[in-house]
Amino acid sequence: MMTLVEVEGSHTLEEVYESLDVHVGQSLTVLVTLKAPVKDYFIVASTRFTKPVLTTTAFLHYKGSKTRPSRPLPIGPTNHIHWSMKQARTIRLNLTANAARPNPQGAFHYGTIPISQTLVLANARTKIDGKLRYTVNRVSYVNPTTPLKLADWYNIPGVFDFKTIKNIPTPGPSILGTSVLDFALHEYVEFVFQNNERSIQSWHIDGTNAYVVG
C-alpha cells in the first residue's frame, strides 16, 4: 500500500492507494507499507489511454525472500477516465503541514478570495504548415532565441508579445508563436482548462501556487 505525502513539493493529506496516476512532468512522494508475506513482488507501471498499453516492471524484494514474483501482472485502469477523475479529487493539500505564511488576501481562505480575472485555455490538435502541432487558444508555442526571463528582466523588445495569445478561445486559424500571459503581482486568477479532444491532456502547473477547485 502507498501513502501519498507530497505532490510537486506540497504536503498532501495522507491518503492510501494501491495504484496511482502519475502524469507527464509530475513528481510525488509515497510511503510504502510492507506487510505482505515474505516473497518478491512486481512493481508495475503501465501507460494510460494508449493503444497498445505499454507496461514495464520492477522487483520489490523482501529481505530473506527466496520466492520469485508470480504472474499474471495486475491490470491497471488503462481506459477508465472516471477512475482517474475520482482519484484526482482525493489529492488535497495539507494546510497544517509546513504551511505558507499568511498572504495579503487572507491565509488559506482560498474560497473567499476575489478572482481578478478568468482565463479559458483550450488545447487542440491541429496542423500548421502541414505539420502536426498542439495548440492552446490557437497558438502553438515556439521557444524564442532569447530566454523569456532574460527578455523580461532587461526589457528586450521583440521577444514576446502579450497579445499573441487570447484569454479565451477564439475562432480562426492556428499559428506559431511565443505565447505569454500578463498578470500583476498578488493577483488570484482562475484558469479553466477546456479539452474538446477525445484524449486526456495533462497540464503541468509549475513555479506558482495552484489549487484545483473543480
In angstroms, the CA 194 to CA 176 distance is 20
Shared-domain flag, residues 84 and 126 = no
User: Which helix (DSSP H) or strand (DSSP E) does residue 4 occupy?
Assistant: strand 2-7
In angstroms, the CA 18 to CA 44 distance is 11
Residue ending a domain, choose from 21, 53, 88: 88
pLDDT of residue 23: 83
Residue 162 lies in a domain: yes
Spell out the per-residue pLDDT of the chain, length 214, in tens.
899 999 888 888 999 999 999 887 788 999 998 888 999 999 999 988 888 888 999 999 999 999 999 888 887 777 778 888 889 889 988 877 765 555 554 555 666 778 899 999 999 999 999 999 999 999 999 999 999 999 999 999 999 999 999 999 999 999 999 999 999 988 889 999 999 988 878 887 766 667 666 5
Residues in a beta bridge with 119: 191
pLDDT of residue 193: 94
Residue 101 lies in a domain: no
Residue 49 lies in a domain: yes
Shared-domain flag, residues 84 and 21 = yes
Q: What is the CATH number of the domain that holds 142?
A: 2.60.40.420
* DSSP 3-state of 195: strand
pLDDT of residue 118: 95
pLDDT of residue 214: 59
In which domain, by residue range, is 176 found?
110-195
pLDDT of residue 79: 75
Residue 206 lies in a domain: no
In angstroms, the CA 29 to CA 183 distance is 31
Closest residue by Cα to residue 168 from 114, 117, 113, 96: 117
Quote the Cα angle for 12-15-17, to 5°: 125
pLDDT of residue 88: 86
Residue ending a domain, choose from 88, 120, 136: 88
Residue 20 lies in a domain: yes
Residue ending a domain, choose from 29, 56, 88: 88
- Give me the number of domains the chain comprises: 2
Shared-domain flag, residues 62 and 118 = no
pLDDT of residue 172: 94
Shared-domain flag, residues 59 and 114 = no
Residue 104 lies in a domain: no
pLDDT of residue 26: 82
In angstroms, the CA 189 to CA 112 distance is 13
* DSSP 3-state of 60: strand
Q: How far apart are the first and last CA of the chain?
A: 27
Residue 26 lies in a domain: yes
Residue 204 lies in a domain: no
Shared-domain flag, residues 117 and 191 = yes
E strand map for 40-142: 40-46, 55-61, 117-128, 131-136, 139-141
